[in-house]
Amino acid sequence: MTVVEPFGLSVRDQALEADVRSGLSAVEAGLLAATKSEVPFITEAAQHLVRAGGKRFRPLLVMLAAQFGDPYAPGIVPSAVVVELTHLATLYHDDVMDEADVRRGVPSANTRWDNSVAVLTGDFLFARASHILADLGPDAVRIQAEAFERLVTGQILETAGPRDGRDPVDHYLDVMSGKTGSLVAVSVRFGAMMSGAQDRVVDILTQYGERLGVAFQLADDVLDIASDSHESGKTPGTDLREGVATLPVLRLRALAEAEGRPEDLELVQLLESDLTDDVRHAEALRRLRAHPALEQARRDTVRYAQEARALLAPLPDCSAKAALEELCDAVVHRAG
């Protein structure tokens, strides 16, 4: 049994491991090639996050889904490069919107240069992804365009907030489906489609990817509250400090509104205060970690991961299916 990142994914089949490692190595080379410009400064900015590393979660899904057809088909690696370039582009834009200082352990592009450079570099990556897509055929272009529309719509809806009368938790889950689920779904869809897998298999894997993507994001929400920096590599409570209402906070608000317990209402008030103050931030983090809302958010994460796993049932038993199932368990483990 060998281990392939991300999440220490165990691959028990040597042939599958070789295919995945070879594919991810080719993707890495493709990312460097796609981010190279005749203008040295653009190359430096565009490769800033590529060279910082990352889980390469989406390319991994492309490689695993390709096992249900011809894993050596020519469109597989380029499509994996497309989804990762798209993901990286959104990170440049997210850091501007969130005023982030650090990304993947290095200064964010907006901190190293400025917001304009970060936004334009993201646009450059989108352009390079589109250039590669053009060689993959009109179906691939359409699928990516639809996913990108959903991704941007999710971001806009997150910024706008729920409309009057809409359940904030339902709104948030819809946002996560757009922002994260859409591109993860495209990853497995491209892998299966480019490999020539049957339409039924492509559909199953696409639905799987949508739910896995949401579970992955919800696990991040839980980790932001529950983990320490040693476990996650991130500063705990970052979203709290920035005033971002993730799922645990939304679950808390719902409980406070429904039950009206004074301690819940007091915690909601604390979370809505200025948490750039270290003392208030530490108190908010301590109390939210002990609150049932965090466990409720964990259960939401588990539910999406279980739904993703259940969708795989009709697929033939093979090492790739086992690896996709293990990814569901890994997502749940992150939120455990």
- pLDDT tens digits, one per residue of 28-71: 999 999 989 898 887 887 777 777 767 889 999 999 999 999 99
E-state strands within the chain? 2-4, 9-11, 102-103, 106-107
Residues 6+ apart with CB under 8 A from 283: 270
Does residue 108 share a domain with residue 52? yes
Per-residue pLDDT at 287: 94
DSSP annotation string for 55-97: --HHHHHHHHHGGGS-TT-TTHHHHHHHHHHHHHHHHHHHHHH
Asked if residue 6 has a cis previous peptide bond (ω within 30° of 0), the answer is yes
What is the token pair recorded at 182?
A: 């859409």
Rg over CA atoms, the chain: 20
Residues 6+ apart with CB under 8 A from 116: none
> Structure pTM?
0.89
Considering only residues 210 and 88, tell me which one the structure prediction assigns the higher pLDDT. Answer: 210
Does residue 239 share a domain with residue 183? no
207 part of a folded domain: no
Q: How many CB atoms lie within 10 A of CB 161?
A: 13
Mean pLDDT throughout 310-317?
Answer: 96
**By residue range, what is the domain housing residue 123?**
12-197
Largest interatomic CA distance in the chain: 62
2 part of a folded domain: no
* Polymer length in residues for the chain: 336
In angstroms, the CA 275 to CA 245 distance is 13
Domain finish residue from 164, 197, 230: 197
Give the domain CATH number at 232. 1.10.600.10
In angstroms, the CA 59 to CA 82 distance is 9
Mean pLDDT throughout 158-178?
Answer: 91
Per-residue pLDDT at 297: 95
Does residue 235 share a domain with residue 175? no
Number of domains in the chain: 2
